[in-house]
């Protein structure tokens, strides 16, 4: 979107509510006669909110000239493909490394009759959509990883939900812990975002590293910038809480035993933080 702005396009950014969801009525109000594109995440990568793709698709049935793009990088294999198959969706983008394919791989769904400008031009490969020699081994590996991902998908989703629920139920009971992800059906099964108030997110991340548990501070793409999460800022979370946020990302290989190990590590980390932040007794 920033790139489109540099090219002279007008871009409208829609707000989200306190849970991280776009309001379809806000989208309807923002559509102009010259609107050409609506782009939305299927699943927010920081808190896991699953955006109302079907409701947006229903709305856009009345606007056939608008291109509807869905970023499904965090959504594939998470049991929500039916929403992505809404007939009004024009483009869906996927990234291979999110389902254990080689880094640098990905693929796009494009509805017949919809056109996009290629990122690279030249030799005419991929029907002129992406010129250049294909990385055939990586593409084959991505296809294999996708088949494995979608085999017993519902069982994989249930496993992630169970692991996330066990961690959520334990961590959420602690004082000074704010949960941003929720266990409701409109949140993805594999993302758990919360904050230990008074402790910066990167401090919590490093503390878990001592237990050989590796998590991140909200978006891994910008974790080194030292700023609050853009998603949490949009949710109007106070800065001092947002900068304490961490994200636990799960997949189908995680187990309940690992959830118990995480909870045990959390108890130790939390106790250590409480000692450090405790107010000294008056003399």
Residues 27, 84 within the same domain: yes
Range of the domain at 20: 2-150
Residues 205, 218 within the same domain: yes
- Given a contact cutoff of 8 angstroms between Cβ atoms, the answer to whether 51 and 40 are in contact is yes
Question: With helix as H, strand as E and coil as C, how does 202-238 read?
Answer: HHHHHHHHCCCCCCECCCHHHHHHCCCCHHHHHCCCC
Asked if residue 96 belongs to a domain, the reply is yes
- So what's the pLDDT on residue 121? 84
129-153 pLDDT, tens per residue? 888 888 999 999 999 999 999 999 9
Query: Which of the listed residues 121, 150, 179 is the one where a domain comes to its end?
Result: 150
> 29 vs 34, 50, 197, CA distance in Å?
13, 21, 37
Asked if residue 111 belongs to a domain, the reply is yes
248-257 pLDDT, tens per residue? 999 999 999 9
Residues 259, 167 within the same domain: yes
Residues 242, 126 within the same domain: no
Q: Which residues are catalytic?
A: 221
The helix (H) or strand (E) run that includes residue 39 is strand 37-41
Q: What are phi and psi of 38, to 5 degrees?
A: -120, 125
Residues 103, 171 within the same domain: no
> 255 vs 72, 80, 127, 146, 231, CA distance in Å?
25, 22, 43, 21, 28
Domain count for the chain, please give it. Answer: 2
140-196 pLDDT, tens per residue? 999 999 999 999 999 999 999 999 999 999 999 999 999 999 999 999 999 999 999
Residues 133, 192 within the same domain: no
Pairwise CA distance, residues 165 & 190, whole Å? 10
Asked if residue 283 belongs to a domain, the reply is no
Query: Which of the listed residues 113, 131, 150 is the one where a domain comes to its end?
Result: 150
Q: Is 274's pLDDT higher than 90?
A: no
Mean pLDDT over the full length of the chain: 91
Residues 45, 116 within the same domain: yes
Asked if residue 13 belongs to a domain, the reply is yes
Long-range CB pairs of 57-63, under 8 A, 24+ apart, other chains included: 57/86, 57/87, 57/88, 57/89, 58/86, 58/88, 59/24, 59/27, 59/28, 60/88, 61/88, 63/31, 63/35
- So what's the pLDDT on residue 225? 55
Residues 105, 92 within the same domain: yes
Check which CATH number belongs to the domain holding 157 and give it.
Answer: 3.90.1150.10
Query: Which of the listed residues 100, 131, 150 is the one where a domain comes to its end?
Result: 150
Residues 68, 83 within the same domain: yes
| pLDDT band (50, 70, 90) for residue 223 | very low
Residues 162, 53 within the same domain: no
Asked if residue 137 belongs to a domain, the reply is yes
Asked if residue 94 belongs to a domain, the reply is yes
Residues 126, 230 within the same domain: no
Check which CATH number belongs to the domain holding 91 and give it.
Answer: 3.40.640.10
Asked if residue 282 belongs to a domain, the reply is no
Rounded to two decimals, what is the model's pTM?
A: 0.88
> 220 vs 68, 144, 176, 216, CA distance in Å?
26, 26, 24, 6
75-125 pLDDT, tens per residue? 999 999 888 999 999 999 999 999 999 999 999 999 998 888 888 888 888
Q: Is 224's pLDDT higher than 60?
A: no
Residues 159, 253 within the same domain: yes
197 Cα distance to chain centroid: 22
- So what's the pLDDT on residue 282? 47
Percent of the chain with pLDDT over 90: 81
- Given a contact cutoff of 8 angstroms between Cβ atoms, the answer to whether 166 and 260 are in contact is yes
Mean pLDDT of 205-224: 81
Asked if residue 87 belongs to a domain, the reply is yes
């Amino acid at each position: 979107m920033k790139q489109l702005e540099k090219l002279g396009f007008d871009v409208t950014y829609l707000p989200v509510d306190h849970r991280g969801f776009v309001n379809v009525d806000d989208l309807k109000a923002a559509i102009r006669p010259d609107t050409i594109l609506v782009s939305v995440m299927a699943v927010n990568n920081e808190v896991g909110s699953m955006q109302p793709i079907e409701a947006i698709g229903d709305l856009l049935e009345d606007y056939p000239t608008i291109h509807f793009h869905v970023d499904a990088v965090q959504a594939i294999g998470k049991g929500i493909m039916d929403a992505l198959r809404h007939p009004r969706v024009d483009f869906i983008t996927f990234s291979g490394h999110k389902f254990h394919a080689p880094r640098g791989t990905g693929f796009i769904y494009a509805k017949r009759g919809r056109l996009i400008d290629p990122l690279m031009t030249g030799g005419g490969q991929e029907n002129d959509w992406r010129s250049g020699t294909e990385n055939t081994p990586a593409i084959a590996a991505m296809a294999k990883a996708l088949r494995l991902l979608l085999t017993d998908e519902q069982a994989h989703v249930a496993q992630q939900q169970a692991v996330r629920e066990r961690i959520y139920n334990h961590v959420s009971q602690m004082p000074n812990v704010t949960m941003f992800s929720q266990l409701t059906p409109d949140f993805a099964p594999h993302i758990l975002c919360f904050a230990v108030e008074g402790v910066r997110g990167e401090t919590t991340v490093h503390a878990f590293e001592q237990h050989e548990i590796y998590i991140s501070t909200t978006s891994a793409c910008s974790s080194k910038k030292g700023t609050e999460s853009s998603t949490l800022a949009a949710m109007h979370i106070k800065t001092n809480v947002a900068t304490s946020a961490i994200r636990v990302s799960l997949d189908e290989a995680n187990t309940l035993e690992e959830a118990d190990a995480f909870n045990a590590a959390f108890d130790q980390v939390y106790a250590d933080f409480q000692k450090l932040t405790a107010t000294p007794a008056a003399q």
